[in-house]
Structure 1
Amino acid sequence: MPVGAITVEMTKQGLKNGFLHGWAVGLGGITIDLTLIILLSAGLASILALPIIQIPMWLIGAAFLLFLGYDSIINADKDITLSGEKVKKSFFSSFKNGVLVAVSPGNLVFWVNVFGVVLAKNYASDQSHFIIVALGILSGILLHDLGLLSIISITRKALSRKAIKWLTIISGILLICFAGYFVYEFIQSVKVYI
């Protein structure tokens, strides 16, 4: 699976607060993924694919990811819980972060352009095949999340507070890079209509 904003946020939360908090971000993301599958099957894909909807979503997504990246860098040394320490952040707060990243316009555009096309094609041909493909996508996301967070959970035990801080800063930089990519996509989309 491609590394996206949700993966970066899961990694950051997993490093700072442990497996469960990274998993909470993943659960927030998969909740939105499941909701999108249901909405795409109900016809949302054709609406979200409209240029008048999609073009501004790139810019809104860029702003959102820029904010998350900036926040990650500024707060890199805050709320770090080393292995064995009691976590201060709530599980729901991490889940909420996952939901917020997943409903970012950039994630929605990704869903419509990648999974939406695959799901729409299968929905049109055979609804039972659509369900199998949708379950395959969700299973892949679930396996990705569990695998990634297992690696992070094991690696986290060997990391110092300073190392986690720098990895959080790198995560913030990656989120800002994603924001730059979204700005690029926005500019390319606008050029088509100018």
Structure 2
Amino acid sequence: MGLYFTYVLAGLAIALPVGAITVEMMKQGLKKGFIHGWAVGLGGMTIDFILIIALYMGLASILSLPYIQTPMWLIGACFLAFLGYDSIKNADKDITMAGEKPTQSFSSSYRNGLLVAISPGNLVFWISVFGAVLSDSYDTTQPVKFLIVASGILTGIILHDVALLTIVSITRKVMNRTMIKWISIIAGCILISFSGYFFLEFITSFY
């Protein structure tokens, strides 16, 4: 149990830094409510789970190759720039106030989470993080240890998402449409800044 709780804390530590998924979760949670923000988180965790399994199977060694990583940073930069632009452009659309029924489906928010999580640049970033955290659990002779580590990390991420969205849901009740619109614009700017970071990584990979 000690190992499990250690990696629950590791999962929390991984999820705490504000990333593209966190920004999208907060945006959807504010615009459409807890369930839709949670759907984005589930989409992200689906990719997290697949990455953990893929890393264990040896994907990390392939994606660490420079000629694989370099174009992924560029594609990721373009992808996040598009998401940021879309967030700013549609900031005043699809806003559901507390007590109103969202017009978009749960599956559409889940799909958004998947799309943000599979951004190539985002994959490179998360693979490097997961690779560091799981570096001592790649022993295929101890599959139980790997399952404990993986479940601990995912539990930590879930706890982070639930806590974050609870705060967002409470905050949302005292906000009006204009405030939510401007937060969506700010979220778009943050996504574009992540795009800039990925593009910088693409440029520095040549030096």
Deviations 1:89-140 (A, max 9, x none): 1100000000001111122111221112322432138443322221121111
Q: Give me the TM-score of the superposition, normalised by structure 1.
A: 0.95
Matched, 1:101 2:124: no
| Partner Cα separation in structure 1 for residue 37 and residue 121 of structure 2 | 21
| Partner Cα separation in structure 1 for residue 70 and residue 44 of structure 2 | 23
Higher mean C-alpha displacement, 42-51 vs 167-176: 42-51
| Partner Cα separation in structure 1 for residue 153 and residue 206 of structure 2 | 31
Matched, 1:121 2:136: yes
Q: 1:134 aligns with which of 136, 144, 150?
A: 150
- Look up the equivalent residue of 2:177 and give its one-letter code: R
Q: Give me the TM-score of the superposition, normalised by structure 2.
A: 0.89
Matched, 1:83 2:123: no
Aligned residues: 191
Matched, 1:151 2:167: yes
Moved over 4 A (4+): none
Q: Which blocks of at least 5 consecutive residues in structure 2 are unaligned? A: 1-15
| Partner Cα separation in structure 2 for residue 55 and residue 175 of structure 1 | 20
**2:181 alignment counterpart:** 165
| Partner Cα separation in structure 2 for residue 130 and residue 120 of structure 1 | 11
Shift of 1:148: 0.4
Q: 2:55 aligns with which of 34, 40, 59?
A: 40
Shift of 1:42: 1.1
Deviations 1:137-159 (A, max 9, x none): 11111011000000000000000
Q: Percent identity among equivalent residues?
A: 67
- Look up the equivalent residue of 2:185 and give its one-letter code: I
Across the aligned residues of Structure 1 and Structure 2, the Cα RMSD in angstroms comes to: 1.2
Higher mean C-alpha displacement, 126-135 vs 25-34: 126-135
Q: Which blocks of at least 5 consecutive residues in structure 1 are unaligned? A: none
| Partner Cα separation in structure 2 for residue 117 and residue 43 of structure 1 | 14
**1:31 alignment counterpart:** 46
